[in-house]
Amino acid sequence: MLKQGLLGKEQIIVSHSNCALTMGSGSLEVYSTPSMVALMECAAANSVKNHLEPGKTTVGVSIEVKHVSATPLGMTVSCESELIEVDGKRLVFKITASDKCGVIGTAKHERMIVDAKRLMEKATAKKEI
């Protein structure tokens, strides 16, 4: 059952594949904002996936993010999400990303509960247009 307070955690080591230079979001070899957003979404999605009805999943629909500190190659980034609001199919999360020196980013993230098969059918149908 989905309820406020569900927590999610994810972590990743900063590497060339997720740095700003490689991602095209900047010119430096530091952890990229797009990679941080993906890690945040992953933490939120994973925190609720085992609490959903069979055939249901969540999709991200919005994120308000602040990336406040650079993290160098080789350092671990940890992310924690907390489900702070459940409104029918709408889920809202508060998320914090940190490295060993402190907070590097925060976000408010919204996900919607959807029927996975139905969503994929709609997405696939776009190929025929």
Q: What is the pLDDT of residues 3-23, one digit of tens each?
A: 999 999 999 999 999 999 999
pLDDT at 63: 98
Residue 107 inside a domain? The answer is yes
User: Above 90 in pLDDT, residue 97?
Assistant: yes
Residue 1 inside a domain? The answer is no
User: Above 90 in pLDDT, residue 32?
Assistant: yes
Question: Catalytic residue positions?
Answer: 33, 41, 67
Residue 2 inside a domain? The answer is no
* Pairwise CA distance, residues 35 & 22, whole Å: 11
Is residue 28 helix, strand or coil? coil
- Selected residue with higher pLDDT from 71 and 129: 71
> What does the DSSP 8-state code read for residue 25?
S
* Pairwise CA distance, residues 124 & 129, whole Å: 10
CATH number, domain with residue 97: 3.10.129.10
User: Above 90 in pLDDT, residue 29?
Assistant: yes
Residue 14 inside a domain? The answer is yes
Contacts of 88 (CB under 8 A, 6+ apart): none
Domain span at 29: 7-128
Average pLDDT over residues 13-41: 98
* Pairwise CA distance, residues 112 & 48, whole Å: 11
Give residue-wise pLDDT tens across range 70-92: 999 999 999 999 999 999 999 99
Residue 56 inside a domain? The answer is yes
Average pLDDT over residues 21-35: 98
Q: What integer best gives the mean pLDDT of the chain?
A: 97
Number of domains in the chain: 1
Region class of 55: left (phi > 0), else alpha (psi between -120 and 50), else beta: left
